[in-house]
Structure 1
Amino acid sequence: MSMHFCFEPMNVAEAEKLTRWHYQPPYQMYNTTSDETLIGSFLDPENAYYSILDNGELIGFCCFGKEAQVPGGDYTKDSLDIGLGVRPDLTGQGRGQMYIADVLNFARSNFNPTLFRITVAAFNERALKAWKKAGFQQIQSFQALDDKELFIILVRHI
């Protein structure tokens, strides 16, 4: 299956770029700051962060495994957790299915999972709609342990 985008393990320059991304309300919870600890976590191979590139330009990032989980959710079922972030100026343009399809294809070929799982903030209707359109079904909602934000877990069989 052909992919639109290129995936590469996150490097320092890309990690620093994405810490400067600025999301407008109500998406400001996704804003980060550039600090050594955060950049280090983006670069740690254990955390499986990948840059999503379009003709060499950073347009998003994804991560797999524990880094894509939110403390407070039930992650006991064996699944591949996926995190996905798209550059702020590229969100809301109807390209969600393309990003999701490429991330799932990349995940399928690199991790060989039996079940995909995604955790989305409940207020993020745009993301919830995109993941549901991609065949994901809600199985749980919960409050995050740290900020009590409501999250929804969705899964899709391979």
Structure 2
Amino acid sequence: MHFCFEPMNAANAEKLTRWHYEPPYQRYNSTSDETLIGSFVDSQNAYYSIQYNGELVAFCCFGKDAQVPGGDYAKDALDIGLGVRPDLTGQGKGQMYIADVLDFARSKFNPRVFRVTVAAFNERALRAWKKAGFQQVQAFLAQDDKEPFVILVQHI
């Protein structure tokens, strides 16, 4: 299964703001407001729609928007954020999403190191990234809400 990546547009940004995750993943729920949608479509924030058969199934972003304030991002790496549509999570397909996102990132940005920041409670995501070859290098508390996060890297 290979996905199609396109720069985020307003229609897809609006769709993903309506995604609703069940507990304990509700922290990923957002609201549909113009500021958030504007952030998703701003090309400097490097958000991409991930589609399969013309249907929005996930999104990703690269760079600063994939970071969580409080983590140490001093070392050079390409930060990756990934969100999968709620009804498609927990089905054991994380490796497909991750592999295609990494392939896309390699072709677009040619990084030496990939980095992801994952909420510590999100065991599914941590397992998926580790299975993809990422290793934990840091744990920290987010600046704003003091929630624990983990930073993982993969050297290319």
Measure, in 2, the Cα distance between the counterparts of 1:104 and 1:71: 23
Q: Which residue identity lines up with residue 9 of structure 2 in the other structure?
A: N
How much has 1:31 moved relative to structure 2? 0.2
Q: Which runs of 5+ in 1 are unaligned?
A: none
2:53 to 38, 52, 55: 55
| Partner SS for 1:78 | coil
Name the residue aligned to 2:88.
90
Alignment of 1:22-101 (within 5 A): 22-101=20-99
Runs of 4+ in 1 over 3 A off after TM superposition: none
Q: Distance between the aligned counterparts of 1:97 and 1:53, measured in 2?
A: 16
| 1:136 positional shift | 0.1
Q: Given the two structures, how large is their TM-score scaled by the length of structure 1?
A: 0.98
Separation in 2 of the partners of 1:86 and 1:8?
A: 15
Q: TM-score w.r.t. structure 2 length? A: 0.99
CA distance in 2, matches of 1:12, 1:55: 19
Residue 147 of structure 1 corresponds to 145
Say what the alpha-carbon RMSD is for the aligned residues: 0.6
Quote how far apart the aligned CAs of 1:77 are: 0.3
For residues 44 and 27 of structure 1, the distance between their equivalents in structure 2, rounded to whole angstroms, comes to: 26
For residue 80 of structure 1, what is the amino acid of its counterpart?
L
Aligned to 1:130, which of 125, 128, 131?
A: 128
Unaligned runs of 5+ in 2: none
